[in-house]
Amino acid sequence: MNNLLQGVNVYLIGMMGVGKTTVGRLLAQELGYGFVDTDDVIVKAAGKSINEIFDQNGEGVFRQLESDVLGQVCAFTKLTIATGGGIVQRQENWSYLHHGLIVWLDVPVEILLQRLAEDTTRPLLKDNDPLGKLRSLLETRTPFYSQADLHITITAEETPEQTTAKIIAAIPSVLKSHEWKVTGDS
Ligand SMILES: Nc1ncnc2c1ncn2[C@@H]1O[C@H](COP(=O)(O)OP(=O)(O)OP(=O)(O)O)[C@@H](O)[C@H]1O
Ligand SMILES: O=C(O)C1=C[C@@H](O)[C@@H](O)[C@H](O)C1
Ligand SMILES: [Mg+2]
């Protein structure tokens, strides 16, 4: 698989809680790739949590940091990159994402809510109606997520390991048709 990808980066996109960070780590191991999480890089660079950035600086500042980080990581190869859920909403980010293979992880919002029920680290979920908020974010973002090269739907019972295996099995189907033409043969 690593040979097939020839170092092309893999970007995981999708809603908060779909498992981009969890699956991204596993996928990187399987591919023999490095792993980068744009949220983690932002937190380390800013020296504060995502909640603190949203509260003290505003979402706009977070989104600019996100674009800056993405612009920097896309200069590297052999990376699996877990992105933030809202990265797809800025047009300029797509010019970076399209350097690599883009995988949309898609989980029903009811499952996302269960997974994140006890989690207070997602500022956009601090809402009186978190399920409604997830639905509305998904509606806004679906046209963007749909631009991914691969759409991986994940069921409630599926483990991160199974999702990782599904992605690896699906990658060859997109490589030959993609502009990197990494396979070289017919
Ligand atoms: N397949 C799975 N089954 C059950 N729980 C999962 C699965 N994948 C991830 N989780 C759990 O769901 C939560 C969110 O996962 P994770 O942080 O990987 O999502 P994310 O897509 O990176 O979210 P964000 O966009 O907010 O960074 C974590 O507690 C994780 O352990
Ligand atoms: O869906 C979103 O907009 C977000 C998802 C997380 O990954 C973080 O990037 C942040 O909490 C915002
Ligand atoms: Mg994450």
- The verdict on residue 186 lying in a domain is no
Domain residues for 88? Answer: 2-175
Per-position pLDDT tens, the chain of length 186? 667 798 999 999 999 999 999 999 999 999 999 999 999 999 999 999 999 999 999 999 999 999 999 999 999 999 999 999 999 999 999 999 999 999 999 999 999 999 998 899 999 999 999 999 999 999 999 999 999 999 999 999 999 999 999 999 999 988 866 665 554 443
- The verdict on residue 85 lying in a domain is yes
Distance of alpha carbon 19 from the chain centroid: 8
- Name the residue at shortest CA distance from atom 9 of ligand 2: 84
Q: Which helix (H) or strand (E) holds 133?
A: helix 130-145
Site to probe by mutation for ligand 1, drawn from 115, 120, 154, 167 as the one with most ligand atoms within 8 Å of Cβ, is: 115
Catalogue the E-assigned strands of the chain.
Answer: 10-13, 34-37, 79-82, 101-106, 150-153
- Name the residue at shortest CA distance from atom 3 of ligand 1: 159
Structural domain count of the chain: 1
Residue type, 181: K
Q: Are strands 150-153 and 101-106 parallel, antiparallel or unpaired?
A: parallel
Q: How many CB atoms lie within 10 A of CB 130?
A: 17
- The verdict on residue 103 lying in a domain is yes
b/e map of 149-177 (b: 16 or more CB within 10 Å)? bbebebeeebebeebbebbeeebeeebee
50 lines ligand 2 (CB under 6 A): yes
pTM above 0.90, yes or no: yes
Q: Residue 100 and residue 84: Cα distance in Å, rounded?
A: 16
- The verdict on residue 183 lying in a domain is no
- The verdict on residue 181 lying in a domain is no
Domain with residue 163: its CATH number is 3.40.50.300
